[in-house]
Every structure is written in C-alpha cells, then in structure tokens.
Structure 1
Amino acid sequence: MFSNTYPSFSKKELSSIKKVSGNIAKNRVQDYQKNINSYKHLQKNKQLLKVNFYLNQLLPQYDDVIQKQEDYWASPKEFLITGYGDCEDYVIIKYFTLLKLGFDKDKLYFTTVYEKYIGGYHMVLSYFEADGKSPLVLDNLSFRILPLNIRKDLKADIFINSTGIYKINKNNKLFKVQNNSIKFQELMKKVKKER
C-alpha cells in the first residue's frame, strides 16, 4: 500500500477534467495513474528510472506561456491536466510521485542548480540514497539518473524540502541556511486543498 496517495483523481474529477480540458487531458491523467501503479512493486532504483523516464515525456513549456506569470509552481494535478510545465513542475510531480511510491520525503530535495555550459539556473530533484553519498539527480533534461558529482554540467546552489533550505558541503552533508521556503510552503498549501 502507498504511504501517500496524492496525486490521485476521483471519477468525479476525471469527469470534470474531460468536460473542462478535454479527452486528451483525461487520458493523460488516467495513463499516469495506470503507469505509476504498475511501478509500485519494483525496486527503488527501477522506480526512480521509470518515474524519471515517464514524466520526462510530458512537454516542457515556460510559465509565462502556460500560467501567464513568471516562476509559477504548478501542483502535480495542474501539470498533468495541462500536460506542459517547466523544470520546477517536473521536480514537483516527480517528488510527489516518489512519495506516492513510498520514498522517504526527508531524502528528496528540490534543488536549484547552475548550468555551467549553457548558463542560467535550473531545477532538478535530488535523492539522497545514503548518507555521505552524492545525491542522485532526476532532471527533465536527461533520461539518465546520475550522482550530482558526476554531473559536471551542474553546480548545486540550494536544496529545499519541508524542513528548510540547505547548502551542501564537499562531504555531501547538507547544512541548513534558512528555516523554510515560501514557494515550497505555498505549494504544500495548494496540494493540501487538492487532496
């Protein structure tokens, strides 16, 4: 049994999605539910690969195009219904999908990184599999899941989860720099309303 069931959709919600957003949106949501349920008996490393690969197939689009505003953090339900999102939206849906599959929320972090070769900031999901090891990176720009220390194209800036905002030292230990993230707290309130 899942330790967390969000995001899940009732028959009433599916009917509403079909009416408001169309059959393609409804089918996308049902496909998500079917695929994620099929991963629940896999080993953790296989679940990571499947989730990253499956969700990376959703189409990227900037917030100002979809939401008509900058830096909008869409809930997993919003992302699945629209079918488009930017890097934060991929991180958010991967985070909640892994929670749904039983991953420990204290090992998952929204991670702001600097792309060294392209320039500019990007967000990925980090999974700290074991203490002292470099976190694994789930990135919407890559179907491969590699440790952060192997991703020479990325320089980690901050790590965010429900307990606060962190930086990382050379020994892969996190240290807190702030008690909470306003954006993260706003997202959790939105998710709570959708449950």
Structure 2
Amino acid sequence: MTDLRSRSRWLLTIIASFFIVVLAIAAIDEDRLRTYVQGRFGAAAVRNVRDWRESVARLTGQGESERLQGINDFFNRHIQFQDDTVVWGQDDYWATPLEFLGRASGDCEDYAIAKYFSLIELGVPASRMRLIYVRARFGGPGSTVSVAHMVLGYYAQPQADPLILDNLLAEIRPASRRTDLTPVFSFNSDGLWMAGAEQPTAPVDRLSRWKDLLLRMRAEGYAP
C-alpha cells in the first residue's frame, strides 16, 4: 500500500509539472513576439522565432536530459557565432533571446542566455542552472592562450558536477571533462557566485547588464 501511495504521489507530481510547463508556454503571447520581431528584424527573423517556438513545443513534457540536449542543439545549429562589435557595434552587448534570433548571430553570452530562458520556460528550475563566466583555453594541454567565455551550467544537485552547455561543442559534458575551462564566477536569477563558493556571494542586481537585459525582455513580451 505504501508503494502504491508513493507511486501515486510521484505520478501526480509528474502530471502537475507537465501542466505547469504547458500553462507557462501558453502564457507567452506568440503573436506579440512575431509582431515585434517582424517589425524590427524582418520576415527571416520571424521564421527563426517560429522554429524556436516549435522546438520548445516539441520538448514540452520530455525528460530533463532531452530538454537540455534539445535546446542546446537548437541554438548551436540555428545561430551563427559572431562578435558583438560586428552584430551590435558594441564591445559587450547581452542580447535578449528575441534579438539573438532576430539577428541569427551572436556571441557566447547570447547563446547561454537564450538557452537559460528557454529551459526555464520548459520547466527547468533556475536554481539548477547558472550562467558561468570562464577562461577558455585554446591550443591543447599546456597552452597559455585563453579567452573570456560564457557557458550554461546545469546542476542536478547543488554540489553536483555541472553539465556544461556550450556553443563551442555539440556534446553536453560534465565540467570535470572540460579541463579547457577555468571558472571565474557564475550567476542566475537568484544571485552571483564567485568560483568555488557554495553559496551566492552577491545579489545578481550587481550585474547592470543583467538588469538591462531583463527590462528589454519584458518590453519585448518574452519574460518566462
């Protein structure tokens, strides 16, 4: 009887989670998104947004690993990497997901941000994800050539070895297998962590670009 009750509670939790995700997706005014993108970026951008929304719909209700891989694949395959100076004429611009899709190009921060919010929309808790600033080493073991880079980390448990969603690789790998990456700090909607910290060390509001990003997302109509 105890096993039956446990299974029933587990099943009800799964069903409730599914409907929460469906309601969250339904709350996004897709007509408004398309109208905004059409007016600012043109018809090609509307097709990008349509493909994104179809991808989100297909992943709804799937397991967490399928959602992670599906979103990682979508942005890595649909968007071309390009520096902010080329796309926006600025040294460092954090694009909203709609801007990223509208231009169909962007840099590492834009990939990580778009994946983060798409996964939140699909029901992955923000507490399980962090946008991680790293130094990425190029040239193989022993190389001293490194650049600033951002990836998205997924933590199955708070102290778990995070899975890394990266525009540089199609495969999602644990951080322990990404010895080319050296963490500097990470953040999500709940706070900011310095490398090695177990608890947030500062509020995320300290990142002015993050606050500006959220304001622009709300103005566009996409704020999951």
TM-score by length of 2: 0.78
1:125 aligns to what?
A: 152
Q: Which amino acid aligns with 1:125?
A: L
1:61 aligns to what?
A: 82
2:173 pairs with 1:174 = no
Where does structure 1 lack aligned partners over 5 or more consecutive residues?
Answer: none
Match of residue 101, structure 1, among 122, 133, 142: 122
Q: Which has the higher helix share?
A: 2
Conserved? CA contact 1:53–1:143, under 8 Å: yes
Where does structure 2 lack aligned partners over 5 or more consecutive residues?
Answer: 1-18, 139-144
Match of residue 209, structure 2, among 168, 183, 191: 183
Conserved? CA contact 2:84–2:106, under 8 Å: yes
Using the TM superposition, name which of 14-23 and 177-186 deviates more.
14-23
Match of residue 44, structure 1, among 39, 64, 71: 64
Bigger Rg, structure 1 or 2: 2
CA distance in 2, matches of 1:22, 1:92: 22
2:135 pairs with 1:114 = yes
Using the TM superposition, name which of 35-44 and 185-194 deviates more.
185-194
Count of matched residue positions in the alignment of Structure 1 and Structure 2: 192
What secondary structure does 1:56 align onto?
helix
State the Cα deviation string for residues 139-182 of structure 1 (Å, max 9, x = none). Answer: 0111111111110111111011122210243xxx6333322322
Q: What root-mean-square deviation, in Å, do the aligned CA atoms of Structure 1 and Structure 2 show?
A: 2.1
Cα deviation for residue 6 of structure 1 reads 9.5
1:142-157 matched pairs, under 5 angstroms: 142-157=169-184
State the Cα deviation string for residues 90-133 of structure 1 (Å, max 9, x = none). Answer: 01100010001001011111100111234111000111111321
2:96 aligns to what?
A: 75
Using the TM superposition, name which of 2-11 and 52-61 deviates more.
2-11
1:28 aligns to what?
A: 48
State the Cα deviation string for residues 25-78 of structure 1 (Å, max 9, x = none). Answer: 111111111111101121100111111011101111111111111110000111
Could you say if the C-alpha distance between residues 12 and 41 of structure 1 is closer, same or farther in structure 2, counting changes exceeding 3 Å?
A: closer
Conserved? CA contact 1:7–1:96, under 8 Å: no
Using the TM superposition, name which of 100-109 and 22-31 deviates more.
22-31
CA distance in 2, matches of 1:13, 1:100: 15
What secondary structure does 2:114 align onto?
helix
Conserved? CA contact 2:112–2:152, under 8 Å: yes
CA distance in 2, matches of 1:165, 1:129: 18
CA distance in 1, matches of 2:74, 2:91: 26
CA distance in 2, matches of 1:164, 1:13: 28
Percent of pairs identical after alignment? 28
What secondary structure does 2:200 align onto?
strand
What secondary structure does 2:176 align onto?
coil
Cα deviation for residue 18 of structure 1 reads 3.5
Could you say if the C-alpha distance between residues 13 and 46 of structure 1 is closer, same or farther in structure 2, counting changes exceeding 3 Å?
A: closer
